[in-house]
Amino acid sequence: MVYVARHDKTTQLYLRPLDQLEAKPLAGTEGADTASPFFSPDGEWIGFKHNFTLNKVSSQGGPPATVSGIPGGGGATWSEDGNIILSRGPGAKLVEVAAAGGTPRPLMEPEHGTGHEFYRWPQALPRGAVLFNSSTGSTWDQARIEVFSEKTGERRVLLEGGTCPRYVAPGYIVFQRDAQLMAAPFDLKSLKITGEPAPTFVHLRTDPSTGAAQFTIAKNGTLAYVPGGPVTPQSRLAWVDSKGNETRFRRLPKPTV
């Protein structure tokens, strides 16, 4: 398992084998973006974002390599054909770039020619298909779960209301809705939902402003997650003096009469 943690005022990637209790930091990943890191299909590489670049680092250690300069966040996935699909800001569109490096290209055009659709949290499926979220609003509460086939160019809405869709063998899509992990039967061959979604016992930590949900599922069905509920980020006014010392305004007590 790989995750981002903060230590000494900076973020870094940490790698933990599931049969061990300790995680080790990956050198050269200091300042990694808090958007989810992701594995290559063979598990040999870990992709992550740092500032305005897409990078990869070996899961065995070693210096990171830059894949491409791509700003923004919103999830990424490494497909079996050697490409990386990710959400690119500020318009949050899906683009594809070779994992070996290169120039990113748009994965698909916005539906009906509108430029007001936002895409996040892609997952590459076998045979050139991609699961993803789409939204036209300022929040992700009513986001759609869609699938896109690169081979046929077909795009289909699978579910209304839910974020961070993930395919799990032998045939389910799991996703979060109202901070609860949901599961719906899914046929990978036809790329269609085959039954009604049902809730699980898992409640997730989520960010309604981005649609992010703190969970991941391995190919063998192992689930790792952060329990909780919706968390709204808070902004605080701060400044830094010439010596690099940061000062933040404290929250004042509510006045009473």
Residues of the chain with pLDDT > 90: what percent?
56
What would you measure as the largest C-alpha separation in the chain, in angstroms? Answer: 66
Residue whose tokens read 């077909």: 154
Residues of the chain with pLDDT > 70: what percent?
85
DSSP character at residue 44: S
Worst-scoring range by mean pLDDT, 49-53, 82-86, 188-192, 242-246? 242-246
How far is 86 from 78, CA to CA, in rounded Å?
9
Q: Is residue 250 scored above 60 in pLDDT?
A: no
The set of residues, in sequence order, having a beta carbon less than 8 Å from that of 86 and lying 6+ positions away, is: 54, 70, 74, 75, 76, 77, 94, 95, 97, 122
Q: What pLDDT, in 10s, does the model give residues 21-33?
A: 999 999 999 988 8
- Looking at residue 74, its pLDDT comes to 85
Nearest partner of 59 among 21, 93, 19, 13, judged by Cα:
13
Q: What pLDDT, in 10s, does the model give residues 164-198?
A: 999 999 999 999 999 999 999 999 999 999 999 99
**Averaged confidence pLDDT in the chain:** 85
> In order of start, what are the domains of the chain with their CATH numbers?
108-232 (2.120.10.30)
Q: Place 225 in a pLDDT band, splitting at 50, 70 and 90.
A: very high
